[in-house]
Structure 1
Amino acid sequence: MSLIEQAAQRLEQLRQAGVDVPQTSVEKGSEPVSQPLVEHSRTGKARHEEPSRDPDRGEVIQSPEMALSRRVELDLNVLTAAGILRPDAARSTLEDEFRVIKRPLIDNAMGRGASPIPNGNLIMITSALPGEGKTFTAANLAMSIAMELDNTVMLVDADVARPNLLKVLGLPPARGLMDVLVDETVDLPQVLLRTNVEKLTLLPSGTPHPRATELLASDAMAALLEDMANRYSDRIIIFDSPPMLVTTEARTLATLMGQVVIVVKAEGTTRADVRHTLATLEACPVKLMVLNQAQSLAKDSYGYGYGYGYGA
């Protein structure tokens, strides 16, 4: 049986099981241009590479991963109300600030930094304590990277104890990361959420689990992240993680990251908490800091500052 026939058979099995799977170009008989099936690094199941474009007809060939993922509509007005960047908005100070923040992160992720960084495209956004703006920063950073011409971005809600990302984006709870780690019959594409922002995909935290810390420290999690990091060469993955000083999940997750961004609330986070947070991240090769809600020279104006260093 050919790879195309295997893919079509798998999709038909999913439909019979009640999964809503749209028809793909593979089943319509067009010649696929995208990469063939390869084995999933965690489960041994077949996975598919990113879609490509039919050179004769100019149409996008939908990969089975896209077919299995669910599409959601982000309400751009909800994003505006939450202070999140939107792709159709006029240029703003916030957008310019995140341009500055994202540039070295992208360079490191794509191997253009001072030195190669293993899994440099895995970027964790955290803070010392709750309420310092890490989810806000993660969402805006992901949206800013989605505006790039040469990169796609996946935004992961890894705050498995207190997930808040989907709520901020105006979306209901959904299956996600925990479900993939707990149930080997659930593949990553089945819980991904494609959005109406073309280059932005979401991975919810999923169903809460009492052993979330152990799951994040498991071999299955390490294999899943390795697969996510290497599946697409242009993909950057942003993790909205728990605060470092109040949970153990964040410390576990940090050991698997290539880059960590620490959000520090101006006139709110103490120096002792910042030092303690940095001390817990010794294993991460790149640590960066974003100063949130820093009062600028303009009266009543607030913005972001940025600190950057290798192992600092």
Structure 2
Amino acid sequence: MSLIEQAAQRLEQLRQAGIELPSPPAETITEAKVEQAQPPEHSDESLPPAKLAAEPVALHSPEMAISRRVELDMDVLSAAGILRPDSPRSKMADEYRVIKRPLIDNAMGKGAARIKDGNLIMITSALPGEGKTFTAANLAMSIAMELNNTVMLVDADVGRSTLLKVMGLPPSRGLLDVLVDESIDLAQVLLRTNVEKLTILPTGTTHPRATELLASDAMVRLLEDMASRYADRIIIFDSPPLLVTTEARILASHMGQVVIVVRAESTAHADVKHALTTIEACPVKLMLLNQGKASIQDGYGYGYGYGYGN
């Protein structure tokens, strides 16, 4: 006779003896744990009641952290100048292919030397208005078109968040919520998109000490987890400008790679040099020239340059 049958028989004996038994709470749904065991050598009566009842196990396990799916409107992306997976080949798409290749190699350990946390890539600028959010979105979209890599796009510009607006998405919980509440798992606030290999982590709920949170120990632990959780994932951070806030410099110290966007014929040379000095600890520093004038024979009014910073 199984343990369940023994328990049922013993309960019936107790009821017949007039012993009142408590009923389980109505909202608790349980099932008995079934154990494959040999019948006991002793009779049912020789076993104490506590040994007869099988241990109850809850049918409903804790809710699993599941990311939310959102639909990116391809027409909205095109209007914002963002690459889309179904767009025809273009000069800008080709330029981002050139831009992403060394970043991917460094992230996957295929560069000249292995880079710690090389899959954490920060997109920043010396000052606001140089096109870092535009660059971060396009770089993430270009990497999402790769066959062997996935990409997470993180809105880490907590003081001036514009990424979701650029991508045509409404505000949502995100990075700041995870930093404030340890019970919130990263996966719960990620946005899975209809671009198969692209997920987005929004800034999240506005917080009066958002800049301090970005420089907190909780952020450091989160970055370490993000860097190691998925081996094939490249994480792009749209971060604050380096010369406007100090948290961008702290964030940069935990990145494997930093790309500084420089707006052609706009950013002062001194500002670029100053920005570079603030991230000297980062192992890989690269510069991207935004809105540089291309030659007329190219047929395009603007182009993008790419190179290593001194």
Normalised by the size of structure 1, how large is the TM-score?
Answer: 0.78
Q: Give 1:108's aligned residue.
A: 106
* C-alpha contact (below 8 Å) 1:241/1:250 kept by paired residues: yes
Q: 1:261 and 2:259 equivalent?
A: yes
Q: Give 2:215's aligned residue.
A: 217
* C-alpha contact (below 8 Å) 1:163/1:205 kept by paired residues: yes
Q: Secondary structure at the match of 2:61?
A: helix
Q: Secondary structure at the match of 1:208?
A: coil
Cα deviation for residue 213 of structure 1 reads 2.6
Cα deviation for residue 212 of structure 1 reads 2.1
Q: Secondary structure at the match of 2:187?
A: helix
Q: Give 1:301's aligned residue.
A: 301
Q: Can you list the C-alpha shifts for 1:143-168, whole angstroms capped at 9, x where unaligned? A: 00000000000000000011000000
The AA in structure 2 aligned to 1:305 is G
Cα deviation for residue 7 of structure 1 reads 11
* C-alpha contact (below 8 Å) 2:159/2:211 kept by paired residues: no
Cα deviation for residue 6 of structure 1 reads 9.3
In 1: Cα distance, 2:167 partner to 2:120 partner: 21
Q: Give 2:268's aligned residue.
A: 270
In 1: Cα distance, 2:203 partner to 2:142 partner: 22
Q: Give 2:237's aligned residue.
A: 239
User: What are the ranges of 5 or more consecutive residues in structure 2 without an aligned counterpart?
Assistant: 1-32, 34-56
In 2: Cα distance, 1:298 partner to 1:8 partner: 65
Q: Secondary structure at the match of 1:120?
A: coil
Larger radius of gyration between Structure 1 and Structure 2: 2
In 1: Cα distance, 2:250 partner to 2:227 partner: 17
* C-alpha contact (below 8 Å) 1:194/1:202 kept by paired residues: yes
The AA in structure 1 aligned to 2:302 is Y
In 1: Cα distance, 2:176 partner to 2:139 partner: 23
Q: Give 2:70's aligned residue.
A: 72
The AA in structure 2 aligned to 1:228 is M
Q: Cα–Cα, structure 1 residues 191 and 7, in superposed 2: closer, same or farther, change >3 Å?
A: farther
Matched residues, number: 253
Which aligned segments of 4 or more residues in structure 1 are displaced greater than 4 angstroms? Answer: 5-8
* C-alpha contact (below 8 Å) 2:118/2:255 kept by paired residues: yes
Cα deviation for residue 210 of structure 1 reads 2.1
In 2: Cα distance, 1:194 partner to 1:172 partner: 14
Q: Cα–Cα, structure 1 residues 245 and 6, in superposed 2: closer, same or farther, change >3 Å?
A: farther
| Superposition CA RMSD, Å | 1.6
Q: Cα–Cα, structure 1 residues 9 and 82, in superposed 2: closer, same or farther, change >3 Å?
A: same
Cα deviation for residue 222 of structure 1 reads 0.9
